[in-house]
């Protein structure tokens, strides 16, 4: 069963990554990936803080605490699980953007995209119309660019969901 799942995931990864052979698609997803590293979340956070007025400090502290906790979680897991990135493990997979670190599991970009979308959306639901599609593009970008397997992205999203739920529950 594990062998079948690995084969299925590799084939999916190869198909999605084939999109990066088109220059325009690779550029688009490289930009999305770069923005998803932190610039977009800073801009979204500043827009929400501007809308919040007096509640801005609590929002900023919660957002920073959630983001830094996410960094700690994914770095801890990557150092222990040491899954090579798809473009390293499979010569047919094209690396469409430079990786931020060596290992692939889980996707930190996706973890943050999901956790911050949920957190920010709790403070400013109107922003979800922009953030949900952007978060989805960030997640897809990681596979298109050959930096992650689909399961890296799925687990990153799951961890991000749990992290946001805990953060929101803790804030009451």
- Return the bridge partners of 103, or none: 84
Per-position pLDDT tens, the chain of length 172: 778 788 899 989 999 999 999 999 999 999 999 999 999 999 999 998 888 877 788 888 999 999 999 999 999 999 999 999 999 988 899 999 999 899 999 999 999 999 999 999 999 999 999 999 999 999 999 999 999 999 999 999 999 999 999 999 998 7
- Which domain CATH number covers 91? 1.20.144.10
Orientation of helix 128-144 relative to helix 2-17, angle to 10°:
100
What pTM value is reported for the model?
A: 0.92
Tokens of 108: 């930190």
Cα separations in angstroms, 105 against 1, 130, 167: 20, 27, 22
Which domain covers residue 61, as residue numbers? 2-170
């Amino acid at each position: 069963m594990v062998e079948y799942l690995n084969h299925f995931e590799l084939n999916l990864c190869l198909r999605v990554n084939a999109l990066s052979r088109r220059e325009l698609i690779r550029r688009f997803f490289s930009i999305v990936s770069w923005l998803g590293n932190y610039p977009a979340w800073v801009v979204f956070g500043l827009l929400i803080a501007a809308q919040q007025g007096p509640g801005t400090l609590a929002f900023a502290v919660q957002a920073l605490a959630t983001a830094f906790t996410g960094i700690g979680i994914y770095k801890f897991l990557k150092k222990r699980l040491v899954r090579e990135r798809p473009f390293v493990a499979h010569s047919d997979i094209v690396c469409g953007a430079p990786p931020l670190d060596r290992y692939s599991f889980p996707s930190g970009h996706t973890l943050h995209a999901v956790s911050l979308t949920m957190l920010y959306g709790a403070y400013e639901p109107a922003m979800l119309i922009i953030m949900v599609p952007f978060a989805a593009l960030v997640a897809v970008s990681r596979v298109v660019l050959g930096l992650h397997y689909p399961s890296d992205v799925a687990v990153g999203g799951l961890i991000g969901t749990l992290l946001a739920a805990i953060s929101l529950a803790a804030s009451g």
